[in-house]
Amino acid sequence: MNTKNWLWWLLTILVLLGIVLGLWVATKRIDYTWRWNRVPQYFFYQDKDVKKTVIDGTVTKIEQKGKTSIITVHNSDNEDNVFIVDTETVNLDVDDYLMEDDTVGAILDWKAGPLVTGLWVTLWISALASIIGLVIGVVTGLCRVSKNLTLRQLSITYIELIRGTPLLVQLFIFYFFLGTVLDIGRLASGIFALAIFAGAYVAEIIRAGIQSIPKGQMEAARSLGMNVPQAMIYIILPQAFKRTLPPLAGQFISLIKDSSLVSVIAITDLTKSGREVITSTFAVFEIWFVVAFLYLILTFSLSQVVAWVERRLAVSD
Amino acid sequence: MIKTVDLEKIFVGRGQTVRAVDGITTHIKQGEVVVVIGPSGSGKSTYLRCLNGLETLTGGHVHVDGIDLANRKTDMNKIRREVGMVFQQFNLFPHKTVLENLVLAQMKVRKRKRIDAEKKARELLEKVGIAEKETNYPSQLSGGQQQRVAIARALAMDPKVMLFDEPTSALDPEMVGEVLEVMKQLAREGMTMVVVTHEMGFAREVADRVLFMDYGKLVEEGTPEHFFIEPQEERAKLFLRQVL
């Protein structure tokens, strides 16, 4: 950072702080109470599995083994009831008398909350839809530049149909119509709808990429005796892929964001998890900010990965 | 080696019909160096591209080693691997290193093992004088070096004929010599060559036969001595006055 720039840096930070301050003042005026402390438990929480005795009896033995304790309850019928629980939850002494259904202790366990599971669902739905979408897109893109008229017309029809209708409507069609007719579940409907939506855009990107490669490349490959598939696989597509990487990355980033729409067909992705958490916390502002931030982490990571791949491919420039 | 009979290539587009190659009958013999010259737009490049099937023929026949390219059953890929081609714009594969440019088709088309393909590639790079550049990418080479790699790439397939489509036209003047030198060496080794060029010096020195084309027709053919000193046709005389 040179000396001339740091003042501008400072200005940027001040402007951003100003916006944040403005938002804070605005929420103050509507008497909104921020409850950020309610948020972390929806990432991870401690699950308590409470153990209760099924017999009346006396505690005869408490054996500690590190963090767990083994507790034996003995009754008048000479029956033993043995429990393994976490030591920190035990509030008993030897010779304490327990009635049926009294608590002996509990086993504590960290579990992923709805925000984490939702994030995971969004992540793998997007990843799967991206991979399928890329395959569909490459195949359609190749059909789009094919010499065969039918292949060309079919690919154009597909691209126009998908690009001309809203994704939300496509999701409903996939879920209610195709889901019912073909008997596929909501997850599969959601993933295929996203993949087919992305595929149409990927196809156009791939077509543009292929057409941007000079004709001489194909001629050189053919003049060496390669057939068309070989020339495509080894010569044209690698170059086209390199050129189309930035727009492809943009498309897949869009796909991650668009995946939030699958919440309308009751897939518990990040967006739907957020909505569910809000119904139990009423921390509306906090949760939506957190959800937005989690999406941002996903998209930002992807753009970083792509930037790294681009730098690696740039060696031949 | 290569015979053309009434070769015809017509381009139709935007209501215009261009008879790029208009009934050419030639016979290129084994070991012969044939130079094709003529004004721009005379169909020389199109003629050359018909010889390895890069252009589909409108009419007539091309026989390479006795096999007719006009026959629809002919496997073009099999013919093309026997006919090397060097382009005006080099057309090296920019995403592959120099060595990989030479190795790829050997492995995929000739089904050679990598070790054999690399050995062959290195020999050829040595021959065209750029052995030290094998790990470079084409964009890191000068035009002359790129064209020499392109020649080596075509030679790696062990072609029976080499076609050159204005190989020096896209080069800076100081690099023309190094490419022509490689081509002369090839000619001396007895390679069958068909060369479209504007390098009259090369034609005079190396050619066994000169073909002069104009408006898609073969106007005059003969030895360089005959063609450059006492051309018969009026158009050939006019062309020579303009270029010499």
**pLDDT of A216-265, one tens digit each?**
999 999 999 999 999 999 999 999 999 999 999 999 999 999 999 999 99
Domain count, chain B: 1
Burial class for B69, CB neighbours closer than 10 Å (0-12, 13-18, 19+)? buried
Distance from C-alpha of A74 to C-alpha of A82, rounded to nearest angstrom: 9
Interface test with B, best of A223, A226, A228, A237 (most B CBs within 10 A): A223
Question: What local confidence, expressed as pLDDT, does residue A2 receive?
Answer: 67
Q: Which chain B residue has the Cα nearest residue A314?
A: B95
What is the arithmetic mean of pLDDT over B137-155? 95
A178, pLDDT greater than 80: yes
- Give CA separation, B66 vs A147, B192, B202, in Å: 29, 15, 29
pTM, two decimal places: 0.83
Residues of A in contact with B56 (CB under 8 A): none
* pLDDT above 60 (res A1): no
Measured in residues, chain B has a length of: 244
Q: What is the pLDDT of residue A169?
A: 96
User: A274-301: string of b/e by CB count within 10 Å (b at 16+)?
Assistant: bbbbbeeeebebbbeebbeebbeebbee
Tell me the three-class secondary structure of A121-167, residue by residue. Answer: HHHHHHHHHHHHHHHHHHHHHHHHCCCCHHHHHHHHHHHHHHHCCCH
Cα distance between residue B127 and residue B104, in whole Å:
19
Beta bridge partners of B193: B33, B162
Assigned CATH topology for domain A114-314? MetI-like fold (1.10.3720)
Per-window interface: B 119-178 vs A, CB < 8 A:
137-139, 150, 153-154, 157
**Structure token digits, residue A300:** 């930002």
Which pLDDT score, from 0 to 100, does residue A53 have?
82
Percent of chain B at pLDDT > 70 equals 100
Q: Is A256 helix (H, G, I), strand (E, B) or coil?
A: helix
- Residue ranges, comma separated, of all CATH 1.10.3720.10 domains in chain A are 114-314
CATH of the domain at B128: 3.40.50.300
Query: Is the pLDDT confidence value at A90 over 90?
Result: no
Q: Which domain, by its residues, includes B96?
A: 2-243
Domain A48-110 has CATH 1.10.20: no
Q: Is A310 helix (H, G, I), strand (E, B) or coil?
A: helix
Q: What is the DSSP letter of A109?
A: E
ipTM of the complex: 0.91
- Which pLDDT belongs to residue A70? 87
